[in-house]
Structure formats: C-alpha cells, structure tokens
Homo-oligomer: A and B are copies of this chain.
Amino acid sequence: MPLPRDYGGQTCALSRSMEVVGERWTLLIVRDAFFGVRRFGEFAAHLRLPRAVLADRLAMLTESGVLTRLPDTGRREVYALTAKGVALWPAVRALTSWGDAFYGAGGGPRRVFRHADDEAPLAEDGRCTGCGAPVPVGDILVAPGPGLAPAAEDDDPVTAALARPHRLLRPLLVPSTTHRSPRGPHS
C-alpha cells in the first residue's frame, strides 16, 4: 500500500508508524490479535465497533502486512499477526502501561503480563522479574490484573476467555458451532 505523504516532508519512522497504527481503533485490533482473537465476529463482539469500520481496519492491516488471513473451517478465514505485526508488541505494551499509569481505575492494571515459564510478572522493559530473561512474545501470559472487573453474565466470549491466564498469540476461542481443532487451546 503506498502511504500518502500526509506529513509534508516528514517521512520519519514515527510518522510512517502512525499512518498504519495511529487510527484510534487500529491498535486495539492489533492488541486483540496478540490476545489470540482471530475471527471477525470475535473482534466485533469484544471491541463493539461498527462492522463496516472493523472490516475497513482489518483490510488496511492486512494490506499493510500487519495481519494475514489464514483458512478457517469451511470457507471462512481467520486473521493472525505476521512477524511485522508481532514486532508491534513493545508499542502495544508501552501504550498499555502508560494508560494503566495515568488512566487506571485505581485498583491497578486490568491485565498483567507474566513469563509463561515461571509466571513471574514482566518488568517495563519486557524482562522477566523472576529469571531476568528477555521474554519472547509467544512466552508471555496475559492474566487478569487487580483492576479487572468481576465477570458478568453478559460478557462477550473474548472477555470471558480472558478471565483466565492465556498465552499471547495462541488462538483464544474455538467456535462452539464447529468441531474443536486438535490444535485449539482447549484440546
């Protein structure tokens, strides 16, 4: 996708990044993809954004090479992060930490990130506070934090699934209308 030159002479790295992920919904979609959200309906139910907007943003992220489409059951497709998309993790993490620090509900972060090997929390710089190692994205658990509201009966399936610790990038949900995949998270 040729990026428009909206920034005048500014072709710097940050301006190019903001062209792709600066739109208000886009980074939330990417964040959900890290959590293992893969299907159109799951993104729609969790983010509660208009379906036309979601379709547009998913198409843009796919064109930009942040997401890719993979075959699902039947004729359907799912979305997964590419290597370029996974490389956005430090930015997603940094903006989430900033929001927790300055817009948190007071009870602490809604979600915390832990090293899957020893379940110790990650430091701000991405290292494990237990073993000190830098933790690859696929070895990070997203777990409920002290600021997370108690589960409600009308929680969407993504919110309900994230009430338990979950490894990033691993598919979060297996549709109840199909057979469970042997590679699914609950098998």
Q: List the interface of chain A (C-beta within 8 A of B).
A: 3, 6-19, 21-24, 27-28, 31, 47-49, 65, 84, 87-88, 90-105, 109-111, 124-127, 134
B91 touches A8 (CB 8 A): no
Q: Name A14's contact: one of B27, B124, B125 (CB within 8 Å).
A: B27
A18 touches B95 (CB 8 A): yes
Known contacts A13-B95, A14-B27; 6 further A-B pairs (Cβ under 8 A): A7-B47, A13-B104, A17-B95, A17-B96, A22-B27, A88-B98
Residues on B with C-beta less than 8 A from A92 are 14
A110 touches B9 (CB 8 A): no
CB distance from A13 to the nearest CB of B (A): 3
CB distance from A129 to the nearest CB of B (A): 14
A5 to B49, CA, bound (A): 12
Q: A47-B7, A125-B125 are in contact. Are A27 and B18 (CB under 8 A)?
A: yes
Q: Give this chain's copy count.
A: 2
Residues on B with C-beta less than 8 A from A47 are 7-8, 10
Q: Name A87's contact: one of B13, B31, B102 (CB within 8 Å).
A: B102
Q: A90-B94, A94-B94, A101-B87 are in contact. Are A48 and B14 (CB under 8 A)?
A: no
A31 touches B14 (CB 8 A): yes
Residues on B with C-beta less than 8 A from A134 are 125
Shortest 4 CB-CB distances between A and B: which pairs? A13-B99, A8-B48, A16-B103, A91-B94
A48 touches B9 (CB 8 A): yes
A8 touches B49 (CB 8 A): yes
B13 touches A103 (CB 8 A): yes
